[in-house]
Structure 1
Amino acid sequence: AMHPMRSEHIRAAVKRARGNRKEIVNKIEESLTHCLAREGLEGEVLGREKHIYGIYQKMRGKRRAFNEIMDVYGFRIIVDKVDTCYRVLGAVHNLYKPLPGRFKDYIAIPKANGYQSLHTTLFGMHGVPIEIQIRTREMEEMANNGIAAHWLYKSNEEDQPKGTHARARQWVKGVLEMQQRAGNSLEFIESVKIDLFPDEVYVFTPKGRIMELPKGSTAVDFAYAVHTDVGNTCIACRINRRLAPLSEPLQSGATVEIVSAPGARPNPAWLNFVVTGKARTHIRHALKLQRRSESISLGERLLNKVLGGFDSHIDKLSPERVQAVLAEYRQSALEDLLEDIGLGNRMAYVVARRLLSESGEELPSPEGPLAIRGTEGLVLSYAKCCTPIPGDPIVGHLSAGKGMVVHLDTCRNIGEVRHNPEKCIQLSWAKDVVGEFNVELRIELEHQRGLIALLAGSVNAADGNIEKISMDERDGRISVVQLVVSVHDRVHLARVIKKLRAIKGVVHISRVRA
C-alpha cells in the first residue's frame, strides 16, 4: 500500500523465479521427508513461500540483491509435540551441515508476543542455503492466527492460560496498560510501534530468570520489564556484577541487577535513552503524577499565602463558596484548581479574591514573602538570566504552564511586571535550603600557562564545582574567563571568589547578572 510500484516489481519477479525453483524445492522436500521417516519421526514438511514484504525488508536491511534472497529456500516442519521438535532438529543437522550462528530457539525463549519455533539455516544439496522452521501444530496456529487463535474467555483459575497463552495474554495486558497510561493516541502509537517488531536481546536476572528485551535496551528498560515499582525507584545497576551507567545498552547473556531506593523517582533524562514502550510510558506517567503533586502543593502554599493576608485559610472557607468558585472555573475538584495555580495558569491573588468576594470586603496584599526551600522540583525553576542563589533577594514570576520562575529582585527581565501582584510574588529563602545553584562569574586576569588548571584548583579548594568554562583574549596580555560555578549559597560563593582572588595576576572578578 505504501510502495505500490516496488510491491508490483517484486511480485512479478517472484512469479518468474517460482518456475525455476519447483524442481529444487521438491528434491529438498523429498530428502527431508525421507530423513524423518528414517529416524522414525512423524512430521509434515512444507515448502515455505516468502512474503513479498519479507523479501523487500531483507533487500533493504541486509543490502542484498533479489536473486540472493530467492536462492534461500524455506521449509517448515510441523510435528506433534515439543520433544519431537528437538529430535527433528538433530536429524536435519545430521542430514545437512548447519550454518554457525544462525540457530534460534524461540521454544525455550519465546518472543514477547507468544511466538514459538526453532529456526535453523543449513547448507543443502549443491551448497544451496535452506532456512528451516520446526514447530508443533499449536505453535503453527499461534504464528498464523495470532493471539486470537488461543484466546481464553474463561476466568476461573482452573482454566488459566499457561505457557505461550500466558505470555500472549501478558503481552496484550501490557499493551492495554500502555494505552491507559499514555497521554494521547500519538504517544500510545509510538510506544506500541517500538514493541511490535523488536530485534531481541536476552538477559538474566540475578536469580537466573531470562528476560527478553528489544535491541539497544538499557538497565532502566530491564527494571520496568521486571516491575513498574522497580523501574520507578531505580537508582543504579550492576551488569555482570560490576557497577555500570543506567544508559549502557545491554548485551545478550548479561546478568543485570537493579539497585533501588524507596524514595527515588524517575529521572526525566531517562526518556533520552530508554527503548521499550513500557518504560517510556511509565516514566512519563510518573513524571506527570510528580508534577501534579508538586503543583498542588505549591498552589496550596501560594493560595494560603494570599488568604493569610486577609486572616483566612483554605480550611476556613465554606464548602458552598469553594464549590461555587470551582463551577465558575469549570474545575471538578479543589486539587485541580490548586494545580492550575501551582502551574501558573491561574493567579492565587485572583482566585483568593473570588473565594472571599461574598463577604464584600476588599482583599489586601499578602504580608511577608513566601519561603522556598529549593526542593520544590518540577514546578519551580531558577532563571538563567540572573542565576539567583540562596541569600540573594528574590522574586517569583508566575509563568503559565511552567509554574514559578525565581528571579533576582533587581533582574531587568521582569522589570515591567515586578509590581504586578497577579504576575509576581515576593519570595524569601527558607533556613533549610538544600541543593547546588549555578552562578556565572567573569574573571579578568593576566594570561599565563596552566590558567584553566589554576582556576579549577582554586574552585575545588573552596568545595565548589565548575559546570562550564570559556575563555577569550581581550588583548595580548589580559584574558577574560566566563566561569559557571555551582555553590550552596552566597557565603559559599564569597569563599570561592576569595580563593580565586588569591591567584596571581587576577585583575577583576564580577558576578554576571541580567
Structure 2
Amino acid sequence: MQTVETLIEKLDYLPPEQREDIRRAYYFAEQAHEGQYRRSGDPYIVHPLAVGKILADMHMDAQSVEAALLHDVIEDTHVSKDDVTSAFGAIVADLVDGVSKIGAIKFESKAEAQAENFRKMVLAMTKDIRVILVKLADRLHNMRTLGVLHPTKRRRIALETLEIYAPIANRLGMNNIRVELEDLSFTHMYPMRAARIKKATKTSRGHRKDMISRIQESIDNRLERDGLEGRVIGREKHLYSIYSKMKTQRKPFNEIMDVYGFRIIVGSVDMCYRVLGAIHNLYKPIPGRFKDYIAIPKANGYQSLHTTLIGMNGVPIEIQIRTEEMDAMANNGIAAHWLYKSDPDPAGGAQNRAKEWLKGLLEMQQRAGNSQDFLETVKIDLFPDEVYVFTPKGDILELPTGATPVDFAYAVHTDVGNSCVAARLDHRLVPLSTPIQSGQTIKIITAPGACPNPAWLSFVTTAKARANIRHFLKNQRRSESVSLGHRLLDKALSGFDLALDTIPQERITTALTEAGFRTLDDLLEDIGLGNQMAQIAARRMLPR
C-alpha cells in the first residue's frame, strides 16, 4: 500500500518545511475524502497520492505537489475554495480550483460539458502554467487505472486523451508523458490491435538485436577514433507511433521496424555538430533528411540534430544528436524548468513559448462563438508539425504544416491579416491559398480598406486566422452569410461523400430541431457567421 512517506522520500530536493506543508496537504485531503472509494475499491486518497508522485518524479515545486494532493477536494467533498485558501494560501487554492473539473453548471449535452471544461482549463492555464501539469498528471494516473471502467466509457476517455491531452503534452514538449498517454489510450481504444503490435514488436526485437549491437559498436568505435565523447542509446519505437505510421504511411509493420533509431547524447552544442560530421563520414546520409532543430527549435522548445543514413546492408538508420540539457528538455518539456535548475535555464525558452501559445488560446477563446467551437478550433491548433518561415526582416515564425500566406499575415498581426490583398513568397507573387514551405521568406502586401474574403475559411489552417476571419464575418449581411454557410456545409458534407441537396428533408428537420433552429436558412446563416462549425452541423445530418 502506498503511503505519504513514500511520496515524502521522493521529495528530497525540497527543503524540510515545504515537505511538511505537503504532508499537511496529504492529511487534509485524506480527511476530506474519508469514506470515498474509487471504482477499483481502493480508498479515494490513493489517486491524489499517485498524482503527487508523478509530479515529484518531475521534480515539481511544493505548491504543485500540494495542489495535486488536494485537486479533487473542492469538487468531490464538502471543502470550499476558501477553506483551501486559509489552510494553504491563495496560490495553491487557485491551482486546485483550476484543476477542479466544472461540476455545478448543467449542460445540454456531454460534448458541451467537455468543451466548457476545456475552456475553463485553458483560462486557468493562462493564469498559471502549473495547472496543466497537475491536470496532465491527474489524467495520466486515471489512464493507468482505466481498466475498472465499462469499455464504452474507457473508449470515450481514451479518445479525449488522444485528441486533447496527449497533443497538449506534446505542445509543451513533455515527451515521456505524451508517449505514455498515447500508448495507454491506444491500448484502451483498440485492445486487439495493440496486443498484435506488442506481440510483433517482441518477436522482431529478437531478430533486430544483432543488427542493433553491430551498428552501435561501429558508431562507438568511430567516436572513439575521432576522440569525441558521447553516449549512444538505441531508441525503441512505441506502440502508438508504430500504429500511426502504419496507418498514415500505409506501410506494413516490417517496413516500419526496418528503420533503426539511435540517440547520441553529448556534452556541448559544439560537440553535437562534430559528432554529426563523424557520423556522416561513417555512413552515407540520405539527401533531404537532415534537420537542424538546434539552430531552429520546434515550437515546443525541442532541440536536436536529426539525420537519416544508409547503414550496412542498406538498412536506414535514424540518428538524433543532442546535449544532456536538450535531452531533459525533450523528455520533460516545460517541467524541465523545475528538473534542471541550471544557468542558463534550458526550459526558459520553452516556458516563454508555452506562455505565447496560451496567450494566443486566450485571444481565440474571446472570439470563439461557443465552447464546442473553441474546442474544435484548438484541436486544429494542436497539430505538432510545423514549417519555419522568415519575415522580410529575417525573423523566424513557426506555422503548422499546410499554412498559407493568410495564416502568416494573421500570425504577424490581426490588422495585417484583415487588410491583406496579396503575398510574395521568395519575391514571387503567389495566390493567397499557396501552402508555405519551410525556409521561404514571405512578404504580405496590404491595402487600406481591404477586408477578409469569406473564401479564405476554406484554406486557412491556423486557429488565429480562422477565429479572426469568423469574427469579421459575424458583421456581414444575412444573404451573404447564408450562401457562404451553404458552401461551407457542402464542403464539410463532401468529406462524407454527401451534398446538402441529396439529404432527405426529414433528416434536415431533425438536425435543425437538435441544433435549436427553426429554418435551414437560420442554420446556414449561423455557419456563415462563424457561430457554428460546418463539421458539427454536417455530422448532425448524417444518416443514422
TM-score interval (norm. to shorter): 0.5 to 0.7
- In the alignment, the residues of structure 2 paired with residue 176 and residue 77 of structure 1 have an alpha-carbon distance, to the nearest angstrom, of 39
- In the alignment, the residues of structure 2 paired with residue 242 and residue 86 of structure 1 have an alpha-carbon distance, to the nearest angstrom, of 34
Counterparts in 2 of 1:49-128, with a 5 A limit?
49-128=236-315
Selected match of 1:185 from 347, 366, 371: 371
Are the counterparts in 2 of residues 205 and 255 from structure 1 also a CA contact under 8 Å?
yes
Counterparts in 2 of 1:429-444, with a 5 A limit?
none
- In the alignment, the residues of structure 1 paired with residue 442 and residue 211 of structure 2 have an alpha-carbon distance, to the nearest angstrom, of 47
- In the alignment, the residues of structure 2 paired with residue 31 and residue 193 of structure 1 have an alpha-carbon distance, to the nearest angstrom, of 43
- In the alignment, the residues of structure 1 paired with residue 386 and residue 325 of structure 2 have an alpha-carbon distance, to the nearest angstrom, of 23
Aligned to 1:112, the other structure's residue is in SS state: coil
| Structure 2 residue 477 is the aligned partner of structure 1 residue 378 | yes
Q: Give 5+ residue unaligned stretches, structure 2.
A: 1-187, 484-520, 526-544
Q: Which residue pairs with 1:255 in the alignment?
A: 441
- In the alignment, the residues of structure 2 paired with residue 161 and residue 148 of structure 1 have an alpha-carbon distance, to the nearest angstrom, of 8
Cα 1:400–1:199 change in 2 (3 A) is closer
TM-score, normalization by structure 1: 0.53
RMSD, aligned α-carbons? 3.1
Q: Which residue pairs with 1:222 in the alignment?
A: 408
Offset at residue 104 of structure 1 (A): 1.2
Q: Which residue pairs with 1:266 in the alignment?
A: 452
| Structure 2 residue 462 is the aligned partner of structure 1 residue 276 | yes
Q: Deviations over 1:235-289 (max 9, x none)?
A: 222223233322222233332111223444333221111011221122223434x
Identity of aligned residues (%): 67
Q: Which residue pairs with 2:431 in the alignment?
A: 245
Offset at residue 131 of structure 1 (A): 0.7
Are the counterparts in 2 of residues 112 and 171 from structure 1 also a CA contact under 8 Å?
no
Aligned to 2:189, the other structure's residue is in SS state: coil
Cα 1:380–1:44 change in 2 (3 A) is same
Count of residues in correspondence between the two structures:
298
| Structure 2 residue 336 is the aligned partner of structure 1 residue 149 | yes
- In the alignment, the residues of structure 2 paired with residue 171 and residue 20 of structure 1 have an alpha-carbon distance, to the nearest angstrom, of 44
Are the counterparts in 1 of residues 336 and 347 from structure 2 also a CA contact under 8 Å?
no
- In the alignment, the residues of structure 2 paired with residue 252 and residue 382 of structure 1 have an alpha-carbon distance, to the nearest angstrom, of 35
Aligned to 2:406, the other structure's residue is in SS state: helix
Q: Which residue pairs with 2:419 in the alignment?
A: 233
Cα 1:161–1:46 change in 2 (3 A) is closer
Aligned to 1:213, the other structure's residue is in SS state: strand
Are the counterparts in 2 of residues 71 and 128 from structure 1 also a CA contact under 8 Å?
yes
- In the alignment, the residues of structure 2 paired with residue 257 and residue 18 of structure 1 have an alpha-carbon distance, to the nearest angstrom, of 50
**Which amino acid counterpart does residue 193 of structure 1 have in structure 2?**
K
Q: Which residue pairs with 1:207 in the alignment?
A: 393
- In the alignment, the residues of structure 1 paired with residue 368 and residue 203 of structure 2 have an alpha-carbon distance, to the nearest angstrom, of 47
| Structure 2 residue 319 is the aligned partner of structure 1 residue 132 | yes
| Higher RCO, Cα 8 Å, sep 6+ | 2
Are the counterparts in 1 of residues 407 and 462 from structure 2 also a CA contact under 8 Å?
yes
Aligned to 1:5, the other structure's residue is in SS state: helix
Q: Give 5+ residue unaligned stretches, structure 1.
A: 292-376, 385-398, 404-514
Q: Which residue pairs with 1:4 in the alignment?
A: 191
- In the alignment, the residues of structure 1 paired with residue 481 and residue 411 of structure 2 have an alpha-carbon distance, to the nearest angstrom, of 35
- In the alignment, the residues of structure 2 paired with residue 46 and residue 21 of structure 1 have an alpha-carbon distance, to the nearest angstrom, of 15
Q: Which residue pairs with 1:20 in the alignment?
A: 207
- In the alignment, the residues of structure 2 paired with residue 286 and residue 83 of structure 1 have an alpha-carbon distance, to the nearest angstrom, of 49
- In the alignment, the residues of structure 2 paired with residue 83 and residue 382 of structure 1 have an alpha-carbon distance, to the nearest angstrom, of 57
**Which amino acid counterpart does residue 264 of structure 2 have in structure 1?**
I
Offset at residue 80 of structure 1 (A): 2.2
**Which amino acid counterpart does residue 104 of structure 1 have in structure 2?**
K
| Structure 2 residue 222 is the aligned partner of structure 1 residue 41 | no
Cα 1:31–1:180 change in 2 (3 A) is farther
Are the counterparts in 2 of residues 379 and 402 from structure 1 also a CA contact under 8 Å?
no
Cα 1:73–1:242 change in 2 (3 A) is closer
Offset at residue 11 of structure 1 (A): 0.8
Are the counterparts in 2 of residues 190 and 277 from structure 1 also a CA contact under 8 Å?
no
Offset at residue 380 of structure 1 (A): 7.4
- In the alignment, the residues of structure 2 paired with residue 105 and residue 159 of structure 1 have an alpha-carbon distance, to the nearest angstrom, of 21
**Which amino acid counterpart does residue 282 of structure 1 have in structure 2?**
N
